[in-house]
C-alpha cells in the first residue's frame, strides 16, 4: 500500500507538469521546447519566528529576491498549483526556485497546501529548507532520545561533516562554534538526533553539520538533507536569530543549497580597516579630568595643561608595514600632510615618521584626510560641553566656507604628489566626518561642502556608520559609511583605553560617568574593568566579535581606528589579530576576506542600492532553463549573480568565465547586454539536477514508478486514489506520511506548537555588557542594522 501511495504522489507531480504543457506541443515533440523554466525567486512561508527572519535576512544580504506568504495574515493567498506554477510562452514555469518553511509542516496535517508544495517540488526539482524543525521520522531522523538530546546548545562546537564539506558547506574549515555570551542565559536551543536506521524505500538522510550527543558516543545532526519521494529537504534542528555567529556561518551554505548554487545576488566576506590621522597627532585622554584636553569634551577644564599628544614613531611605522606583510592585509592610511609639515617646522626640518612611512609607501593604501584635520562643518563654540555652532548677529549658523574646505582638500593632495604618494582624488575622509550633519548640534550638512567637493572632484566621502548607516549623496559625492571601532582615538596605552571605557560604561556608584544608566543605546558594565587586564580580557574579544559580525553579514562597510592606536602600546593590533585569526579558524582557503579600497566599497554600496530599487520596481526578470540562465534588467544595471564553477557568459561571440571564484562558486556583478536585451549564462554540468534516486520522476531504476508526464500509468493510479479516499486527503497522507507531531521525550512538541522554546538572544540583549557611548547603537554596535541591501520583502497579501 505504501508503494502505491508513493507512486500516486509521483503521478500527481508528473500530472502537474503535464498539465502545464500544451497538448499540441507535446504530441508533436515531447522533448522540444518543454524544458521547464524556473524563475530565480525564493518562496518564504513566514510564521513570524526568528529562524525565518534569519533566513530572509540572509537572502536580503545576498540580494536574492523572495516572496513571503505570511501565515498570520487571514487574507493571504492559498499555496496551490496555480500559485506555484503556470506556463509562459507554452513552457512550464516554476515561479520559485526554492521554498523556505518555518518547519516541515506549517500548514498542518492533511493540508492541501502541503500536498501542493510536495507535488510542485517533485515536479520541478525544487528544494525546501525547514528553517527550524523537530527531529522526527517525518524528516528522516530518530527522535532526540537514546541516543539524542533536546536542550540548550550554548557553547557547543559543531562540525561540518565530510558530506557537508563536499556539498554546501565546503567554504568552512570545519568547526561551527555556538555562541555562549552569558552562562546564565540559554541563547540557543535544538535537537541532536541520529538518522533513521531503516528509512522508507529510496529515502536517505545525509548529515552536513553535527555535534556530539551528550552522554553518548553518537553524533547528532543539526543540519542535514533528507531525500525522499523525489524531493529534497534541508532539515535544521536548532533555533537561531539573524545575528548569531552559528547561523551567519551557515547562512551562505543554506542559500546555496536551496538555490542549487544558482541565484541572483552575491555574498562575500568583507573587511577593510582605515587608520585616520596618520602624520598628525591625537590628543590624549586625561585619567584625572575624565576628558581629553585640547578636544571639545573638556571645555575649559584642560586649559593651562601642557599638550600630551600621541603620534606614531618611525618604529611604529615600520611595525605597521611589517604587520601588513605578515598578515597579507593592507591598511588604508588616511593622512594629514600638514601634520608632517608642522612637525618639521618644530623640529628643524626633521620628521622621521614621515620618512619611514614614505619609504614604505607601497605597503599601504592612502586616503586624503585633509591637510590639517580642521572641523569643516559649522564654526564650533567649544567653551561649553557639549559644543555648539556659532551664530551670527541674525542667529544664522556660521559655516566653514567653500574656499577653506577646497584648500584643505587640494593642499593635502599637493603634499601627497610632492612626496610620491599615490592617492585617488575622488576619495575623501574629512576630520571627524565633519561637513556632514552631526546631531544634535548640526542637523544638516554644511551647505558649503557640496560645492567644495565639486571643485575638487571628490565623489566618495566617508561617513560615520554609527550615525548614518546607509549610503547617501552629499553634493556630487556618495557617502561611504564606516564602522567606528571602540578602540578610542585618544588612547595610546591599554590602561588609558580601560580608564576611559570604565568612565563611559560604569554606573556613577562605581565611579563612572553614569551615562549608561537609563540609556536605550548602551549598557553598563557589571563592575569596572581591571586596568591591567581589562583590555585583553574584555575589550579585545568584544570588539573583535562585533567586527566579525559585520564580516559575516556581507557588510562591505570599512572599520576605522586612529594612528594613536598603532603607537605606544599599539592597542589596535590585538583586536585586528583576533579578527583575522578568528576568521582563518572558521573559513577554508577558498573563502578569503575581501579588502576593497574605499571607492570600490562606495561603488559596491551604490550598485546594491540600485539593484534593490530595480527589484522593488519589478524591473528584473531572471530564470533558469536547463543549463541556461537568462537575466533581463534595465540598461546599465549591474546584476549580482552567483553561479557554479564553470559558468560562462557569451560576449561578442566568445564564452568567458563569469565573475570570480568564491566559496566554491562563482559570483560577481554582470552588466546586461543593454537595449533591453538579456544577459545569457551557461552552466557547466548543471549542478543540482534531479538526483538519481528510485523515487525521482523519470528514474529508470524503478520500473514501477512512472516518470514521463504522459505516462499512461499515471491515470489508473490517479483514479484509484481518487476513488478510495478522495484525492487531496489521501495525497497529503502519501506525500507527508508522518505528519502527526508527537511530543518529544522531554514533554516539548514541535516548533509549530510553540512549545519548543526559541532560545534566541538578540544582540542588544546579550548578557555580555559593554557598548557604545550614548547616542550610538547598542552593543554589539551596528549589528542590529546591517547594511541595507536586497530586494526587501515582496509580501503576498
Percent of the chain scoring above 90 in pLDDT: 75
Asked if the model's pLDDT at residue 37 lies above 80, the reply is: yes
- Contact between residue 447 and residue 405 where contact means Cβ atoms under 8 Å apart: no
What is the distance between the alpha carbons of residues 716 and 216, in angstroms, rounded to a whole number? 49
Q: Which of 735, 587, 753, 783 is nearest to 132 (CA)?
A: 753
Asked if the model's pLDDT at residue 194 lies above 90, the reply is: yes
pLDDT band for 792, please (50, 70, 90 cuts): very low
- Contact between residue 609 and residue 602 where contact means Cβ atoms under 8 Å apart: no
Q: Within this chain, do residues 205 and 304 fall inside the same structural domain, yes or no? A: no
Residue with more model confidence, 276 or 742:
276
pLDDT band for 638, please (50, 70, 90 cuts): very high
Residue 776 within a domain: no
Q: Within this chain, do residues 205 and 320 fall inside the same structural domain, yes or no? A: no
What is the distance between the alpha carbons of residues 129 and 116, in angstroms, rounded to a whole number? 16
Q: Within this chain, do residues 257 and 351 fall inside the same structural domain, yes or no? A: no
Q: Within this chain, do residues 156 and 253 fall inside the same structural domain, yes or no? A: yes
Q: Within this chain, do residues 153 and 33 fall inside the same structural domain, yes or no? A: yes
pLDDT in tens, 574-596: 999 999 999 999 999 999 999 99
* CATH assignment of the domain containing 478: 3.20.20
What is the distance between the alpha carbons of residues 41 and 573, in angstroms, rounded to a whole number? 43
pLDDT in tens, 295-336: 888 878 878 888 899 999 999 999 999 999 999 999 999 999
Picking from 23-32, 241-250, 510-519, which range would have the lowest pLDDT averaged per residue?
A: 23-32
pLDDT in tens, 231-261: 999 999 999 999 999 999 999 999 999 999 9
- The pLDDT value given to residue 234: 98
Asked if the model's pLDDT at residue 197 lies above 80, the reply is: yes
Picking from 129-138, 495-504, 644-653, which range would have the lowest pLDDT averaged per residue?
A: 644-653
What is the distance between the alpha carbons of residues 547 and 483, in angstroms, rounded to a whole number? 9
Would you call 702 exposed, middle or buried from its count of C-beta atoms within 10 A (0-12, 13-18, 19+)? middle
Pick the last residue of a domain from 682, 707, 733: 682
Asked if the model's pLDDT at residue 759 lies above 60, the reply is: no
DSSP single-letter state for residue 378: B
Range 141-168 average pLDDT: 97
Asked if the model's pLDDT at residue 707 lies above 90, the reply is: no
The count of other CB atoms within 10 Å of the CB of residue 257 is 23
Residues facing residue 53 across a β-bridge: none
Q: How many domains does the chain have?
A: 3
Q: Within this chain, do residues 199 and 245 fall inside the same structural domain, yes or no? A: yes
Q: Which of 242, 288, 251 is nearest to 51 (CA)?
A: 242
Residue 38 within a domain: yes
Q: Within this chain, do residues 661 and 727 fall inside the same structural domain, yes or no? A: no
Q: Within this chain, do residues 131 and 219 fall inside the same structural domain, yes or no? A: yes
Q: Which of 154, 155, 153, 173 is nearest to 164 (CA)?
A: 173
Q: Within this chain, do residues 329 and 257 fall inside the same structural domain, yes or no? A: no
Residue with more model confidence, 296 or 371:
371
Residues facing residue 632 across a β-bridge: 621
Asked if the model's pLDDT at residue 566 lies above 80, the reply is: yes
Determine phi and psi for 244, rounding to 5 degrees.
-70, 140
Pick the last residue of a domain from 658, 682, 706: 682
Which pTM value belongs to this model? 0.84
pLDDT band for 729, please (50, 70, 90 cuts): very low
User: Helix (H, G, I), strand (E, B), or coil: what is residue 416?
Assistant: helix
Range 523-548 average pLDDT: 96
Picking from 152-166, 310-324, 764-778, which range would have the lowest pLDDT averaged per residue?
A: 764-778
Residue 561 within a domain: yes
Residue 663 within a domain: yes
Q: Can you give the residue range of the structural domain that contains 616? A: 599-682
- The pLDDT value given to residue 519: 86
Task: Report the chain's mean pLDDT, rounded to a whole number.
Answer: 85
Q: Within this chain, do residues 571 and 605 fall inside the same structural domain, yes or no? A: no
Q: Which grid cell sits at 355?
A: 620618512
Q: Within this chain, do residues 352 and 445 fall inside the same structural domain, yes or no? A: yes
Residue with more model confidence, 685 or 461:
461
Range 703-707 average pLDDT: 35
Would you call 594 exposed, middle or buried from its count of C-beta atoms within 10 A (0-12, 13-18, 19+)? middle
- The pLDDT value given to residue 82: 97
Range 531-556 average pLDDT: 97
Determine phi and psi for 606, rounding to 5 degrees.
-65, -45
Determine phi and psi for 81, rounding to 5 degrees.
-60, -40
Q: Which grid cell sits at 579?
A: 579578527
Residue 34 within a domain: yes
Residue 629 within a domain: yes
Q: Which residues contact 1 (CB under 8 A, 6 or more apart)?
A: none
Range 139-151 average pLDDT: 96
Pick the last residue of a domain from 682, 703, 728: 682
Residue 151 within a domain: yes
Residue 532 within a domain: no
Sign of the CA dihedral with 143 first, then 148, 153, and 157 last: negative
Dihedral over alpha carbons 154, 157, 162, 167 (to 10 degrees): 50
* CATH assignment of the domain containing 251: 3.40.50.880
Asked if the model's pLDDT at residue 688 lies above 50, the reply is: no
Q: Within this chain, do residues 380 and 284 fall inside the same structural domain, yes or no? A: yes
DSSP single-letter state for residue 691: P
Asked if the model's pLDDT at residue 731 lies above 50, the reply is: no
Q: Which grid cell sits at 144?
A: 532526540
Range 132-148 average pLDDT: 96
Supply the Cα-derived Rg of the chain in whole angstroms.
Answer: 30
Amino acid at each position: 500500500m505504501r508503494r502505491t501511495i508513493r507512486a500516486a504522489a509521483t503521478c500527481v507531480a508528473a500530472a502537474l507538469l503535464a498539465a502545464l504543457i500544451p497538448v499540441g506541443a507535446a504530441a508533436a515533440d515531447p522533448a522540444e521546447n518543454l524544458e521547464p523554466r524556473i524563475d530565480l525567486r525564493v518562496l518564504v512561508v513566514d510564521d513570524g519566528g526568528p529562524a525565518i527572519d534569519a533566513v530572509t535576512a540572509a537572502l536580503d544580504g545576498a540580494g536574492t529576491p523572495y516572496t513571503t506568504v505570511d501565515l498570520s495574515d487571514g487574507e493571504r493567498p492559498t499555496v496551490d498549483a496555480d500559485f506555484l506554477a503556470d506556463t509562459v510562452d507554452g513552457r512550464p514555469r516554476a515561479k520559485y526556485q526554492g521554498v523556505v518553511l518555518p518547519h516541515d509542516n506549517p500548514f498542518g496535517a492533511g493540508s492541501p497546501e502541503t500536498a501542493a508544495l510536495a507535488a510542485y517540488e517533485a515536479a520541478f526539482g525544487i528544494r525546501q529548507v525547514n528553517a527550524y524543525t523537530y527531529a522526527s521520522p517525518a524528516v528522516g531522523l530518530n527522535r532526540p532520545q537514546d541516543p539524542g538530546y533536546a536542550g540548550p546548545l550554548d557553547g557547543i562546537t559543531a562540525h561540518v561533516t565530510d558530506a557537508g564539506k563536499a556539498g554546501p558547506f565546503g567554504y568552512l574549515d570545519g568547526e561551527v562554534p555556538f555562541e555562549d555570551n552569558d552562562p546564565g542565559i540559554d541563547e540557543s536551543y535544538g535537537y541532536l538526533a541520529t538518522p533513521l536506521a531503516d528509512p522508507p524505500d529510496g529515502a536517505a538522510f545525509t548529515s552536513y553539520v553535527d555535534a556530539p550527543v551528550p552522554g553518548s558516543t553518537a553524533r547528532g545532526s543539526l543540519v542535514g538533507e533528507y531525500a525522499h519521494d523525489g524531493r529534497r529537504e534541508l532539515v535544521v534542528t536548532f533555533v537561531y536569530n539573524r545575528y548569531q555567529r552559528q547561523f551567519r556561518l551557515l547562512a551562505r551554505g543554506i542559500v546555496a543549497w536551496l538555490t542549487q548554487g544558482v541565484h541572483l545576488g552575491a555574498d562575500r566576506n568583507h573587511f577593510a580597516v582605515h587608520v585616520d590621522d596618520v602624520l598628525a597627532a591625537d590628543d590624549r585622554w586625561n585619567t584625572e579630568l575624565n576628558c581629553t584636553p585640547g578636544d571639545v569634551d573638556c571645555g575649559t577644564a584642560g586649559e593651562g595643561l601642557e599638550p600630551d599628544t600621541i603620534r606614531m614613531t618611525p618604529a611604529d611605522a615600520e611595525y605597521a608595514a611589517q604587520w601588513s606583510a605578515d598578515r597579507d592585509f593592507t591598511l588604508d592610511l588616511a593622512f594629514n600632510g600638514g601634520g608632517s609639515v608642522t612637525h618639521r617646522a618644530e623640529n628643524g626640518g626633521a620628521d622621521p615618521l614621515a620618512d619611514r612611512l614614505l619609504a614604505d609607501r607601497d605597503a599601504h593604501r592612502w586616503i586624503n584626510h585633509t591637510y590639517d584635520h580642521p572641523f569643516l562643518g559649522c564654526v564650533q563654540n567649544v567653551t561649553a560641553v557639549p559644543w555648539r555652532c556659532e551664530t551670527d548677529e541674525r542667529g544664522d549658523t556660521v559655516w566653514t566656507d567653500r574656499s577653506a574646505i577646497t584648500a584643505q582638500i587640494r593642499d593635502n593632495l599637493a603634499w601627497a604628489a610632492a612626496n610620491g604618494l599615490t592617492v585617488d582624488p575622488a576619495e575623501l575622509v574629512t576630520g571627524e566626518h565633519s561637513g556632514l550633519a552631526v546631531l544634535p548640534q548640526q542637523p544638516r550638512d554644511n551647505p558649503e561642502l557640496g560645492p567644495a567637493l565639486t571643485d575638487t572632484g571628490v565623489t566618495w566621502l566617508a561617513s560615520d556608520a554609527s550615525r548614518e548607516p546607509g549610503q547617501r549623496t552629499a553634493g556630487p559625492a556618495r557617502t561611504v559609511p564606516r564602522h567606528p571601532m571602540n578602540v578610542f582615538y585618544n588612547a595610546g596605552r591599554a590602561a588609558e583605553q580601560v580608564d576611559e571605557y570604565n568612565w563611559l560604561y560604569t554606573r556613577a556608584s562605581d565611579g563612572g560617568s553614569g551615562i549608561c544608566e537609563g540609556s536605550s543605546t548602551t549598557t553598563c558594565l557589571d563592575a569596572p574593568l581591571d586596568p591591567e587586564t581589562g583590555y585583553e580580557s574584555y575589550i579585545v574579544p568584544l570588539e573583535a566579535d562585533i567586527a566579525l559580525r559585520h564580516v559575516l553579514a556581507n557588510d562591505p562597510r570599512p572599520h576605522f581606528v586612529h594612528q594613536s592606536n598603532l603607537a605606544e602600546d599599539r592597542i589596535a593590533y590585538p583586536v585586528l589579530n583576533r579578527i583575522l585569526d578568528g576568521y582563518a579558524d572558521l573559513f577554508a582557503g577558498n573563502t578569503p576576506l575581501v579588502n576593497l579600497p574605499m571607492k570600490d566599497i562606495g561603488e559596491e554600496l551604490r550598485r546594491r542600492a540600485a539593484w534593490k530599487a530595480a527589484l522593488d520596481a519589478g524591473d528584473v526578470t531572471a530564470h533558469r532553463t536547463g543549463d541556461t540562465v537568462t537575466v533581463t534588467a534595465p540598461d546599465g544595471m549591474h546584476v549580482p549573480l552567483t553561479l557554479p564553477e564553470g559558468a560562462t557568459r557569451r560576449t561578442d561571440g566568445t564564452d568567458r568565465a563569469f565573475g570570480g571564484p568564491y566559496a566554491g562558486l562563482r559570483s560577481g556583478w554582470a552588466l546586461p547586454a543593454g537595449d533591453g536585451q538579456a544577459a545569457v549564462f551557461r552552466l557547466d554540468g548543471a549542478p543540482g539536477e534531479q538526483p538519481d534516486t528510485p523515487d525521482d520522476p523519470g528514474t529508470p531504476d524503478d520500473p514501477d514508478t512512472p516518470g514521463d508526464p504522459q505516462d499512461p500509468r499515471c491515470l489508473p493510479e490517479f483514479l484509484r486514489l481518487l476513488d478510495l479516499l478522495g484525492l487531496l486527503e489521501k495525497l497529503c497522507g502519501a506525500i507527508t506520511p508522518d505528519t502527526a507531531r508527537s511530543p518529544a521525550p522531554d514533554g516539548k512538541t514541535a516548533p509549530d506548537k510553540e512549545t519548543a522554546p526559541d532560545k534566541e538572544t538578540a544582540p542588544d540583549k546579550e548578557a555580555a555588557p559593554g557598548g557604545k557611548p550614548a547616542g550610538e547603537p547598542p552593543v554589539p554596535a551596528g549589528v542590529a542594522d546591517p547594511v541595507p541591501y536586497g530586494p526587501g520583502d515582496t509580501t503576498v497579501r
